[in-house]
């Protein structure tokens, strides 16, 4: 005969088990988030985190997250609400159960909509990167070009590489002109 507590625990476990679609979605999400984990590890082990390092890592990750179509939901990143606000509630303990905690978390066990979840998460991450790490492209690219670790600019397109080289040449010419003008004044 099965103990009533074991039966109740078994029922609760069955209620919160993931569906096959949810497991597949979780595996895809792990693959997406591996890049963030790697970047976090790399930055955490770095003695001197520079804008060139940050920009190059974010550029690589961001390029992998670019939405492939324009039908992507725009997320309000200024809202205090989270994706989990509707998924957890609280329920009273059954009257026959004596407990020190009168309320416990109730998990929403409704199967989640996994349709295009990978696409939606990538789009949300892409929007978040652009919102929270808004480094002007010119500054980030020039910093990377001047950093010996990233000077080849392998993390970006050939067009942007050439454009960055031209910007550096222009900045050099402008500095040279300013320096000459300053020396003439003295």
Mean pLDDT of 172-186: 86
Which pLDDT belongs to residue 144? 93
Cα-Cα-Cα-Cα dihedral sign, residues 165, 166, 168, 173: positive
Of the pLDDT bands very low, low, confident and very high (cuts 50, 70, 90), residue 159 is: very high
Do 82 and 128 form a contact (C-beta atoms < 8 A)?
Answer: no
SS3 107: strand
Name the strand (E) or helix (H) holding 158: helix 158-185
What sign does the CA torsion over 173, 176, 182, 186 have? negative
Q: How far apart are CA 177 and CA 182, in angstroms?
A: 9
CA distance 16 to 174: 64
Per-residue pLDDT of 96-142, as tens digits, reads 555 555 556 666 667 778 888 888 889 889 988 888 887 788 899 99
């Amino acid at each position: 005969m099965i103990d009533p507590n074991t039966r109740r625990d078994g029922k609760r476990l069955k209620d919160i088990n993931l569906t096959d679609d949810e497991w597949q979605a979780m595996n895809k999400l792990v693959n997406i988030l591996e890049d963030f984990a790697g970047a976090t590890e790399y930055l955490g082990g770095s003695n001197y985190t520079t804008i060139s390092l940050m920009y190059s890592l974010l550029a690589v990750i961001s390029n992998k997250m670019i939405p492939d179509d324009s039908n992507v939901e725009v997320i309000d990143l200024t809202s205090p609400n989270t994706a989990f606000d509707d998924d957890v509630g609280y329920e009273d303990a059954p009257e026959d159960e004596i407990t020190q905690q009168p309320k416990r978390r109730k998990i929403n066990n409704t199967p989640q909509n996994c349709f295009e979840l990978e696409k939606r998460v990538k789009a949300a991450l892409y929007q978040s990167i652009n919102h929270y790490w808004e480094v002007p492209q010119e500054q980030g690219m020039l910093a990377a070009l001047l950093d010996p670790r990233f000077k080849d600019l392998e993390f970006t397109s050939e067009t942007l590489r050439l454009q960055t080289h031209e910007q550096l040449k222009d900045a050099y010419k402008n500095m040279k002109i300013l320096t000459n003008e300053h020396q003439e004044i003295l």
